[in-house]
Amino acid sequence: MKIIRSSPAMTAWSETLRLQGVTIGFVPTMGALHEGHRSLIRAARLRCDALAVSIFVNPTQFGPREDLAKYPRPIARDRALCRTEGVDVCFEPTVEVMYPSGFQTTVTVPTVAHRWEGEARPHHFSGVATVVTKLFGMVRPHIAFFGQKDFQQSALVQQLVKDLNLGVDIVVRPTVREPDGLAMSSRNIYLSREERMRAVTLYKGLRAGAEAIRSGVTSGKAVQAAMAEVMKREPSLKTEYLAVCDPRTLDPLPTVGGKVVLLGAVRIGSVRLIDNLLVSPSR
Amino acid sequence: MKIIRSSPAMTAWSETLRLQGVTIGFVPTMGALHEGHRSLIRAARLRCDALAVSIFVNPTQFGPREDLAKYPRPIARDRALCRTEGVDVCFEPTVEVMYPSGFQTTVTVPTVAHRWEGEARPHHFSGVATVVTKLFGMVRPHIAFFGQKDFQQSALVQQLVKDLNLGVDIVVRPTVREPDGLAMSSRNIYLSREERMRAVTLYKGLRAGAEAIRSGVTSGKAVQAAMAEVMKREPSLKTEYLAVCDPRTLDPLPTVGGKVVLLGAVRIGSVRLIDNLLVSPSR
């Protein structure tokens, strides 16, 4: 496996392969790789001839009071996982490579970016949209793989690619979960043992919403109430939002007609966790 | 010459050629082609194996009280010029192709975009940055050609390409002028005969600034005064700004040290004209 740090070297690798008709897959990550990332990498490995994974903890998508400094960076373990999974290139740009002096351009995707996670994290999604545009420019993949866990992020990337004609196919893969149902996340390591046990309540809440829908409940409010009911049982989890939304526009839905996404965000102590479920009414 | 209207067809043309190692040149325009465009097209034709010219009057770079509706669209003449100059593809996307329903992403390049022209035309440069990013995505050129006449635009595009790693080489070609010195512009046709005669005063003002610099004047204010002095002689031209700037940052310069750009914008009746000169102090 090649480790590449510079943008020109990354692009040169890709352009050489493109000229040979090779299909290039790409999994952008912030490192601290877990089973969710592994499943993206495996999907990409199966579908593409050549595979690049980027590891870059992007400062512009963290708020000033967020966890940028303490975000885990187990680079040796991350590389080992990539090597094991047959990754061809591990792209590890530095902050200076990504944002050299004078850097100033931003990409914004307003409607996807300004609610739910966007409301809680005001500059998060323009940071994501900008870094993804840059990474696609550097890596020039044919196909890029994102996890459903960050549902809004995957919706944003799909809109971004369409709007700016970036010419990259986006594949969104299902969330990988711990045996009890907790969504895999690099931030789970922040949880104390006790918090970890309680954290699964978010998933249970979303499940209750999904069951309500499958049992025929169509009122968005009632579905939300079903989720909130479960959350109440674990008052140490502070709900930031629980929402029943259109999976494409992320608009909250007063009535469940077709496929919906249930979105949730909670705080446990100082840790913030998100999760979501895609649900189709049974009919 | 091929006329292409759809984005997938445009990209397919380009990708096929790229796989053959062909160098693709691109001249983005709003049509109403004049000798300035012709010189860009010729430069591109000499340097590239395949050449695409786009004609798209981009609504998002016009203000609500600007000349979008009356902007000239002599498409038959434009195509004839392209044909004569050996253009391979004339790309003519419609507004629907460029901004389909649901479109929402914007690209902004703050420091270049918010002064001089950006101050007079608040959303102009984010419209330009977004459409250029899209056109580069659709056309996938190796090299794109811009005119120095729109100096800020060319500075913005260079910053944009660097910041978003778009991987397109940008060539900026000198302004082409009428025999009396007026910069070629698609908007010159708005001028009455009398206005047309007076319009050249903008160029004369910039020339006076250049001569002052070449004769040893180093105070930015004094250079500006030399330009303003000339403009005073033609009071029907309303000066919007006359500035002595760093060609890279577009910051106004209190003292002329090295190369500078003289920027000017005026109104004559209802027509707005801009021009600029790059000047190096003689030494």
pLDDT (tens digit, 9 = 90+) per residue, A231-248? 999 999 999 999 999 999
User: Is residue A283 scored above 70 in pLDDT?
Assistant: no
Which residue, of B152, B173, B194, is where some domain finishes? B173
Token digits for A15?
């352009």
B251 and B153 within one domain: no
B140 and B15 within one domain: yes
Roughly how many angstroms between the first and final C-alpha of chain B, as a whole number?
48
Q: Is residue A201 part of a domain?
A: yes
Condensed to tens digits (0 to 9), the pLDDT of residues B172-189 reads: 999 999 999 999 999 999
* Nearest residue, CB atoms, B138 vs list A7, A159, A165: A165
Which residue, of A147, A173, A199, is where some domain finishes? A173
Please report the sign of the dihedral spanned by the C-alpha atoms of residue B3, residue B7, residue B13, residue B17: positive
A213 and A81 within one domain: no
Condensed to tens digits (0 to 9), the pLDDT of residues A83-127 reads: 999 999 999 999 999 999 999 999 999 988 889 999 999 899 999
Range A116-144 average pLDDT: 96
Closest-approach residue (CA) in chain A for B158 = A105
d(CA B227, CA B223): 6
CB contact under 8 A, B107 and A21: no
d(CA B193, CA B177): 17
Q: Is residue A179 part of a domain?
A: no
B250 and B127 within one domain: no
Which residue, of B150, B173, B196, is where some domain finishes? B173
Angle at A230 between CA A229 and CA A231, to 5 degrees: 95
CB contact under 8 A, A167 and B107: no
B106 and B13 within one domain: yes
Q: For position A133, what pLDDT does the model report?
A: 98
* Nearest residue, CB atoms, B159 vs list A11, A105, A166: A105
d(CA B168, CA B161): 7
- Contacts of residue B104 in chain A, CB cutoff 8 Å? 109-112, 159, 163
DSSP state of B200: T
Condensed to tens digits (0 to 9), the pLDDT of residues A29-86 reads: 999 999 999 999 999 999 999 999 999 999 999 999 999 999 999 999 999 999 999 9
Q: Tokens 């709003």, residue?
A: B30
- Contacts of residue B112 in chain A, CB cutoff 8 Å? 104
d(CA A159, CA A125): 12
B89 and B8 within one domain: yes
Q: Is A21 exposed, middle or buried (0-12, 13-18, 19+ CB in 10 A)?
A: exposed
Instruction: Give the global pTM.
Output: 0.96
Q: For position A111, what pLDDT does the model report?
A: 81
Main-chain dihedrals φ then ψ at residue B26, nearest 5 degrees: -145, 130
- Residue of B6, B104, B128, B132 for testing the chain A interface, max A β-carbons within 10 Å: B104
| A196: helix, strand or coil | helix
d(CA B220, CA B229): 14
Which is it for strands A169-173 and A89-91: parallel, antiparallel or unpaired?
unpaired
**Positions of E strands within B122-270:** 143-147, 169-173, 237-245, 260-268
- Contacts of residue A103 in chain B, CB cutoff 8 Å? 163
CB contact under 8 A, B159 and A104: yes
Q: For position B76, what pLDDT does the model report?
A: 98
Query: What is the value of ipTM here, to two decimals?
Result: 0.94
DSSP state of A219: B
Angle at B236 between CA B230 and CA B242, to 5 degrees: 45
Range of the domain at A60: 2-173
What is the CA B196 to chain-centroid distance, rounded? 20
Q: What counts of helices (H) and strands (E) characterise chain A? A: 11, 10
Query: Nearest-CA neighbor of A147 among A117, A170, A124?
Result: A170
Q: Is residue A269 part of a domain?
A: yes
Q: Is residue B228 part of a domain?
A: yes
- The structural domain count of chain A equals 2
What mean pLDDT value characterizes chain A?
96
Q: For position B283, what pLDDT does the model report?
A: 62
Residues 6+ apart with CB under 8 A from B193: none
- Contacts of residue B109 in chain A, CB cutoff 8 Å? 104-105
B225 and B143 within one domain: no
* Nearest residue, CB atoms, B11 vs list A107, A112, A167: A167
Closest-approach residue (CA) in chain B for A168 = B137
B207 and B168 within one domain: no
A158 and A118 within one domain: yes
The list of chain B residues with pLDDT below 50 reads: none
Would you please indicate which residues of B are annotated as catalytic (active-site) residues?
A: 37
Q: For position B144, what pLDDT does the model report?
A: 98
Q: Is residue B90 part of a domain?
A: yes
* Nearest residue, CB atoms, A111 vs list B104, B166, B167: B104
Please report the sign of the dihedral spanned by the C-alpha atoms of residue A41, residue A42, residue A46, residue A49: positive
Condensed to tens digits (0 to 9), the pLDDT of residues A194-208 reads: 999 999 999 999 999
B82 and B47 within one domain: yes
Token digits for A94?
């530095």
Q: Is residue B283 part of a domain?
A: no
CA of A67: how far to CAs of A271, B62, B116, in Å?
9, 41, 39
* Nearest residue, CB atoms, A106 vs list B21, B108, B112: B108
d(CA B223, CA B277): 13
d(CA A58, CA A272): 18
What is the CA B75 to chain-centroid distance, rounded? 19
Residues in A whose CB is inside 8 Å of some CB of B read 7, 11, 18-19, 21, 102-112, 129-130, 133-134, 137-138, 140, 159-160, 163-167
CB contact under 8 A, B109 and A104: yes
- Contacts of residue B107 in chain A, CB cutoff 8 Å? 105-107, 164
A124 is known as an active-site residue = no
Question: Percent of chain B beyond pLDDT 90?
Answer: 96
B164 and B50 within one domain: yes
Q: Is residue A27 part of a domain?
A: yes
CATH number at residue B73: 3.40.50.620
- Residue of B7, B19, B105 for testing the chain A interface, max A β-carbons within 10 Å: B105
CATH number at residue A198: 3.30.1300.10
Range A226-233 average pLDDT: 97
A167 and A94 within one domain: yes
Token digits for A178?
């711990």
Q: For position B113, what pLDDT does the model report?
A: 82
Q: Is residue A110 part of a domain?
A: yes
